[in-house]
């Protein structure tokens, strides 16, 4: 049910009175619900333009990178080996501040972080969301899903769907093969580990053929997972695959 804005504001005020607002990162008292305190905010840099037109790597200035065929400027890695996905964007740089949000979100039980994280993702990926016809979370293998109880990417996808009105599908993309944690592995090793880890669920091909898809994950590291999923989805006839993550590591894709 949609509440009228004044009623929603009133709801927020009542909630604030009942639960003193706490910083999402460290739990310190703050002025408004679902915000960060100043030290946490400083340690959680938002990614804003300019950035690589393909992988979203933040640039220090607008003349960084080289122009590509699409007119946008691209980082050297994307020019050398263009990713299979169209564009990737992320809300935050992965670092001390975003880890304070993302690690409890991933391994703990702080599923309520999905909403504020998705709000920032929608800001960073507005154009990607606008053209998306279907939102797909990067799946977890069922063992990992059992241990964690929820797939953090699916929670983000559901929130992004709610914010944008775009449909999402939780199980079109599947992960039948368990892969070891990618941790400190380099780009080539990651590529080898994730190749073949994903599969399409029954009836998936009919739902993705000819459509522009948005793949959602919590952290974008080398892009190996995004590329493996994009390869599968494009093979199945998707018109394009973009990627939206909560955070990305500062280097490489």
Residues that bind Zn ion (CB under 5 A): 23, 25-26, 28, 37, 40, 52, 54-55, 57, 75, 78
Long-range Cβ pairs for the range 33-36 (8 Å, 24+): 34/115, 34/116, 35/116, 36/97
CA nearest neighbour of 125 among 30, 47, 43: 47
In the complex, what is the shortest distance from the CB of residue 120 to Zn ion, in angstroms, rounded to a whole number? 15
Of the pair 25, 86, the CB lying nearest Zn ion is at 25
Assigned token pair, 28? 């310190």
Paired strand residues for 241: 213
Q: What angle do CA 211, 188, 246 make, to 5 degrees?
A: 50
In the complex, what is the shortest distance from the CB of residue 222 to Zn ion, in angstroms, rounded to a whole number? 11
Of the pair 78, 138, the CB lying nearest Zn ion is at 78
In the complex, what is the shortest distance from the CB of residue 47 to Zn ion, in angstroms, rounded to a whole number? 13
CA nearest neighbour of 143 among 192, 102, 176, 110: 176
**E strands in 145-239:** 173-174, 199-200, 212-220
Of the pair 57, 229, the CB lying nearest Zn ion is at 57
Of the pair 76, 167, the CB lying nearest Zn ion is at 76
In the complex, what is the shortest distance from the CB of residue 111 to Zn ion, in angstroms, rounded to a whole number? 19
What region, left, alpha or beta, does residue 88 occupy, with left being phi > 0 and alpha being psi -120 to 50 degrees? beta
In the complex, what is the shortest distance from the CB of residue 52 to Zn ion, in angstroms, rounded to a whole number? 3
Of the pair 12, 21, the CB lying nearest Zn ion is at 21
Q: Which residues contact 169 (CB under 8 A, 6 or more apart)?
A: 134, 135, 136, 207
Assigned token pair, 160? 């992004």
Dist CA 125 CA 118 (whole Å) = 10
In the complex, what is the shortest distance from the CB of residue 246 to Zn ion, in angstroms, rounded to a whole number? 17
In the complex, what is the shortest distance from the CB of residue 223 to Zn ion, in angstroms, rounded to a whole number? 9
Of the pair 79, 145, the CB lying nearest Zn ion is at 79
Of the pair 158, 220, the CB lying nearest Zn ion is at 220
């Amino acid at each position: 049910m949609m509440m009228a804005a004044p009623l929603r504001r009133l709801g927020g005020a009542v909630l604030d009175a009942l639960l003193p607002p706490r910083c999402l990162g460290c739990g310190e008292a703050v002025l408004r619900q679902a915000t960060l305190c100043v030290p946490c905010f400083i340690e959680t840099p938002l990614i804003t333009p300019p950035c690589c037109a393909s992988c979203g790597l933040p640039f220090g200035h607008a003349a960084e990178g080289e122009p590509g065929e699409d007119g946008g400027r691209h980082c050297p890695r994307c020019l050398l080996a263009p990713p299979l996905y169209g564009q990737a964007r992320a809300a935050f740089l992965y670092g001390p501040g975003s880890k304070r949000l993302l690690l409890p979100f991933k391994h703990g039980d702080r599923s309520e972080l999905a909403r504020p994280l998705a709000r920032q993702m929608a800001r960073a990926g507005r154009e990607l969301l606008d053209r998306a016809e279907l939102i797909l979370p990067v799946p977890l293998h069922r063992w990992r899903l059992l241990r964690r109880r929820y797939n953090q990417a699916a929670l983000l996808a559901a929130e992004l769907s709610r914010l944008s009105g775009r449909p999402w599908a939780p199980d079109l993309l599947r992960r039948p093969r368990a892969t070891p944690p990618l941790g400190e592995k380099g780009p080539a090793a990651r590529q080898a580990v994730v190749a073949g880890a994903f599969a399409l669920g029954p009836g998936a091909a009919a739902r993705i053929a000819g459509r522009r898809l948005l793949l959602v994950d919590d952290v974008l590291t080398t892009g190996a997972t995004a590329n493996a999923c994009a390869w599968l989805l494009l093979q199945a006839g998707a018109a394009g695959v973009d990627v939206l993550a909560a955070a990305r590591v500062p280097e490489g894709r």
